[in-house]
Amino acid sequence: MRKLIFGILVSGIAVYFLSKNFDLTEFERLEGKINWWIFPLLFLSNLWAFVPFSIRWYHLLEKKISFSQSFTTSIIGVGLNMVLPARGGDLVRLIMNKRDTELPLTHLFSRIFLEKVMDLGSVVIIGASALFFMGLGQSKNLSLLLISTLVILGMIVGLVLVRYFLETLRKIAKNVFGLIGKHGLYEDKLDHHLVEFSSFLKGDKLLKPVLYSIPTWIFGYAISYYLAGLLIGMPILFPEALLFMFLGGMGVAIPSAPSGIGVFHAAIISGFIIVGRDPGEGLVYATVVHLTQFVITTSLALVAYLYWRWTHGNKTK
């Protein structure tokens, strides 16, 4: 509940400042400029983005679910993230996969942690590349990249510690849980999962999921950002789409109301300012991207959920 209240507060503040600084009549520029024939392509691009996303999740779970199950639950999870606070759709995805595989939630949580590390690393690499490709790599534009890089480095250090210093971590964890009187909880519920997670980080198990990460963003989500501009008669360059995707991804990482209302828009507007475009156009563009993604992903999630219920209903008969 506290996370929900905090998220609503953050979004409320962002929406307030956006409404104070931008004229809502900016949306009048959409009149007569919407190219409806682009919408089916936008729909397909959003659907296509789930293919590499699902393949990566399929390999992260070491093929213990079918690709169909991975594809279906991935769509449901992302769609619910647009509605539920605190990335609640990811938790629903884990619960559904637990039902499909009987894997413990701690096992699934470790995999989704890896997924988020890969996503964050991918968008930072893509964002930095887009900035420098467009000649916008000045120091004033690199603060967000610096912060993101530090977060990534922190996550990588954690993974390295689990991979190469497992026994030391286990001793520290046992001592910490012993001090708070929960030694039995660690021994019975957590220790073997830490060992299993370390084992997953060895060998080539991590290679395929890593290789699918950047294609997930470049050939999936970035195309949707590009098509959204064409939809409203506001063409953008593909490198700009990559930059906006990076900023949008970082924006929704900030705790906010469901689907990142307000903070997503502010992040995209900052991108328009960076590339020297009208920030008013940025508000319109961000709203269209946000609205189309909400409509498309939640609609896909509904269909995927009905399919999931139907397949599981047949199994119980």
Q: Is the confidence at residue 76, as pLDDT, over 90?
A: yes
Going by pLDDT thresholds of 50, 70 and 90, the confidence category of residue 44 is very high
120-141 burial: b if 16+ Cβ within 10 Å, else e: bbbbbbbbbbbbeebebeeeeb
CA angle 260, 244, 302 (to 5 degrees): 45
pLDDT, position 184: 78
pLDDT, position 57: 92
Q: For all residues of the chain together, what is the average pLDDT?
A: 80
* Residue 224 region by backbone torsions, left for phi larger than 0, else alpha for psi between -120 and 50, else beta: alpha
Average the pLDDT over 80-100 and give the result: 84
Q: Is the confidence at residue 86, as pLDDT, over 80?
A: no
Average the pLDDT over 57-72 and give the result: 90
Ranking 114-128, 220-234, 246-260 by mean pLDDT, the lowest is: 246-260
What is this structure's pTM?
0.81
Tokens encoding 126:
């893509």
Of residues 115 and 106, more confidently modeled = 115
What's the pLDDT tens digit per position in 188-247? 767 777 777 787 777 677 778 888 888 888 888 899 999 999 998 888 999 999 999 988
Distance of alpha carbon 226 from alpha carbon 172, whole angstroms: 48
Ranking 53-67, 99-113, 138-152 by mean pLDDT, the lowest is: 138-152
pLDDT, position 303: 93
pLDDT, position 238: 92
Q: Is the confidence at residue 78, as pLDDT, over 70?
A: yes
Q: Is the confidence at residue 98, as pLDDT, over 70?
A: yes
What's the pLDDT tens digit per position in 300-315? 999 999 998 888 766 6
Give the residue carrying structure tokens 């400042």.
17
Tokens encoding 296:
């498309």
Tokens encoding 33:
């400029």
Q: Is the confidence at residue 75, as pLDDT, over 90?
A: yes
Q: Is the confidence at residue 153, as pLDDT, over 70?
A: yes
Of residues 148 and 239, more confidently modeled = 239
CA 108 to chain centre: 16
Indicate the burial class of 46 (C-beta count within 10 angstroms; 0-12, 13-18, 19 or more): buried
pLDDT, position 99: 83
Average the pLDDT over 38-55 and give the result: 92
- Using CA of residue 195, residue 78, residue 90, residue 61, what is the dihedral sign? negative
Distance of alpha carbon 146 from alpha carbon 128, whole angstroms: 10
Q: Is the confidence at residue 248, as pLDDT, over 70?
A: yes
pLDDT, position 14: 58
What's the pLDDT tens digit per position in 1-39? 555 565 556 556 655 556 555 556 666 666 667 888 999
